[in-house]
Amino acid sequence: MARVREISSGRKPLKRAYVAMFLWFTGRAIQAAAKADNQVKSEFEALPENFTFSLGCLPDGPWMVVGKKNGVVKYLGGKLPEKQHVRLAIKNLDAGFLILSFQESTALATTRNRLVTDGEVPYALAVIRILDIVEVYLLPKIIASLAVKRYPKHWSVARKLKGRIAIYTRALLGL
């Protein structure tokens, strides 16, 4: 018979490190995509000035925070701000590992109540769209198809190729 075990996120250093690294890179990639991809750019333009959102794991992180100031989108590090517009919180580190290693799509994670969204719905939807686009850029098709509902076959080759190069370069260099 299975016995109930206390689960503490602190005791999973590898998972924690993977999730933290992924979040760090995604944060920088979002900052990059806000410049390199027109759709991400216009999603951010429609959001209010000082818009801030975070993605991470309950109860104690890791987190990734992205915000918009003076019209510029920036990765703001891993410390949760006091106030933010949207928080996408994954129920625990294990679920975080599942989702962020793309064994489960964001949509499915939401429907399985592993991903909890706080904030006004229209804003949260914009954040989900932005994340989906960035995932398509960051991941090879075979993996991205698992992470999003519909892999955008209809994007032009130019958008995919140019976008991917630009976003990887910018994200690595932190531009």
Partner 1 sequence: MLLPDYYEFCCRVKLIAGHDALEKIPELLAAKGARKPLIITDKGVAGAGLVDIVSRAAGKLDPNLVNDSVPPDSDLKVVHELAKLYQENACDALIAVGGGSVMDTAKGVNIVVSENATDLMAFSGVGALKRPLKPLVAVPTTAGTGSEVTQVAVIKDHDKHLKMAFGSYFLLPDIAILDSRMTLTMPPFITAMTGMDAMSHAVEACYCLQKNPLSDAHALAAVSLLYAYLPQAVNNPSDRDARLSMAIGACLAGMAFSNSMVGLVHNLGHATGSVCGVPHGLCMAILLPYGLEYNLHKREEAIAGLLLSMAGPHIYKETPEEQRAQKVISLIRKLNDDLHAKTGGRHARSLSEVKDRDGKPAVPREALPQIAQAALLDGASVYNPEETDYEDNLMVLEAAWEGKPLDRAKVKKG
Told to check if 92 binds partner 1 by CB under 8 A, we report no
Q: What is the DSSP secondary structure assignment for residue 156, as one 8-state letter?
A: -
Q: What CA–CA distance (Å, rounded) separates 62 from 19?
A: 7
Measured between alpha carbons, how far is 107 from 111 in angstroms, rounded to an integer? 6
116 touches partner 1 (CB under 8 A): yes
Q: Minimum CB separation from partner 1 for residue 132, in Å?
A: 8
State the nearest-atom distance from the C-beta of 46 to partner 1, in Å: 9
Q: Which single residue is written with the structure tokens 């490190």?
A: 17
Nearer to partner 1, 101 or 110 (CB): 110
Closer CB to partner 1, residue 69 or residue 112? 112
Assess contact for 117 and 86: CB atoms under 8 A. Answer: yes
Contact 56, 90 (CB under 8 A): yes
CB 41 within 8 A of CB 167: no
Rounded to whole angstroms, the Cα distance separating 24 from 163 reads 19
With respect to partner 1, which residue has the nearer C-beta, 79 or 154?
154
For partner 1, the closer of residues 107 and 166 by Cβ is 107
At 53, the amino acid letter reads F
108: contact with partner 1 by CB under 8 A: yes
45 touches partner 1 by CB under 8 A: no
124 binds partner 1 (CB under 8 A): yes
Which CB sits closer to partner 1, 28 or 105? 105
Say which residues have a Cβ less than 8 Å from residue 81's Cβ, sequence separation at least 6. Answer: 52, 54, 65, 67
138 lines the binding site for partner 1 (CB under 8 A) = no
Least Cβ distance, residue 80 to partner 1 (angstroms): 17
User: Residues interacting with partner 1, by CB under 8 A?
Assistant: 107-108, 110-114, 116-122, 124-126, 128-129, 145, 148-154
